[in-house]
Structure 1
Amino acid sequence: MSANTIEHNRTRQNFDGVSSVWLFGYGSLIYKVDFPFLEKRPATIRGWQRRFWQGSHDHRGTPEAPGRVVTLIENREARCKGIAYRVSPSVFEHLDVREKNGYLRLTIQLTFEDGSHAEGLVYIATEDNEAFLGHASEEDIARQITSASGPSGPNSEYLLRLAESLRMLGEECPHTFAIESHMQSAHNVDTKGG
């Protein structure tokens, strides 16, 4: 599947007669909210885990030196906490462009902190998109993130802002925090000249 998913996403859901939709954010949508929303609530999804397995050729890297950003990988035992936004369907005009590098809009079941549930949409980059990088050690991912930069800024900024946002949410994400730790350790070694 092509990395550019704009047109594909525009045919995935029919919003006729729909005034608002829940959107689940688990990566940069947690901290970079460049779209209007009607309501914002912490939420959890089950059966998915956050992983830095998607290449970023357009935001946090280049085609020659892609960065790494998060996607969701199926895991029946996992749960992933993020932020749910209730948005007008017109918001997807913008978000489909922002999330065009391999991400598809999928339907998902959200659980809010009060135990209530709602159906929502989430952008997931599946392994059949050409920008998917897949599994690597957290140390190798940290190394790639440290060296990548793109039109939206350094890949390291994405990682650090996501880690900070997850801590503020009270979300334990060992994968993200391990990559952050590897990156900071490498930075400390570099600044000490060793």
Structure 2
Amino acid sequence: MAGKPGVWIFGYGSLIWKVDFPVVDRVPGLIRGFVRRFWQGSHDHRGVPGAPGRVVTLIPLDEWKEMKDEHRAAEDCVTWGMAYRLPEDQVDQVLAHLRHREKDGYTEHLVDIFQHQADTEPIIFKAICFIGTTKNSSFHGYKPLNELAQQIATARGPSGPNDEYLLNLAHAMHELAPEAVDHHLYELEARVLSLRRTNESGSADAACPAAAAASISSLS
């Protein structure tokens, strides 16, 4: 099998739901040999220097096996995402745009993409994938899930709140590959949603005494 021709980009984070470049084809699929983790610091999009957010990167399995992590399921050892074929006459422009977008620690790597988990032959060979390796200066690594969720729930940067990034990614993955197992992503989603509900409930409770005082004042 020759695979689909052309220059392809594989997105596993915001590139799944924020496609701000021209494409001529898109194919959902998975790559092997990595796990997706919110272990990359974001100082320019979902956080700022001194108060960074957290975004996803890919950890090679051989490195991940030596790291601390709450999740060790074998099903986590594939990463689902979306592949995009670039217009032949705009490859250089799109890559320049993506290199700027991914400048906070990400570098280009080549990955093979499979269409189904049971496939033995890739559907796309040597797609370009932006990965923040464990050696890049913005790699922050493991943090306990409760602390990681709290950081994501509160961080904000020029591109918006950090929890928006997480929830958009989780929503996209639920739709893109409902059969996919990603304990790390979906447990963070649940924890951040719980923090949101707690914060909203606290805000509502704080507003009630003020509303009651205003009502009493109007009667006096």
Q: Which has the higher strand share?
A: 1
Structure 2 unmatched runs, 5+: 63-73, 206-220
Q: Would you say the 8 A contact 1:106–1:122 is kept in 2? A: yes
Equivalent position to 2:131, from 101, 124, 130: 124
TM-score (norm 1): 0.85
TM-score (norm 2): 0.75
Shift of 1:117: 4.0
User: Which residue number in structure 1 is paired with residue 37 of structure 2?
Assistant: 51
Root-mean-square deviation over aligned CA pairs: 1.7
Q: Which has the higher helix share?
A: 2
What secondary structure, in the 3-state scheme, does the structure 1 residue paired with 2:61 have? strand
Aligned ranges 1:31-42 → 2 under 5 Å: 31-42=17-28
User: Which residue number in structure 2 is paired with residue 145 of structure 1?
Assistant: 152
For 1:4-43, what per-residue CA distance to the aligned partner results, in whole angstroms no more than 9, with x for missing partners? xxxxxxxxxxxxxxx9311100000000000001210011
Shift of 1:168: 0.5
Q: Would you say the 8 A contact 1:166–1:173 is kept in 2? A: no
Shift of 1:103: 0.2
What secondary structure, in the 3-state scheme, does the structure 2 residue paired with 1:61 have? coil
What secondary structure, in the 3-state scheme, does the structure 2 residue paired with 1:35 have? coil
- The answer as to 2:50 corresponding to 1:64 is yes
Choose 1 or 2 for highest CA Rg.
2
Shift of 1:180: 1.2
Structure 1 unmatched runs, 5+: 1-18
For 1:128-157, what per-residue CA distance to the aligned partner results, in whole angstroms no more than 9, with x for missing partners? 111111001121111001111000000010
Distance 2:8 2:14 in 1: 16
One-letter amino acid of the structure 2 residue matched with residue 75 of structure 1: L
What secondary structure, in the 3-state scheme, does the structure 2 residue paired with 1:42 have? strand
Shift of 1:187: 2.1
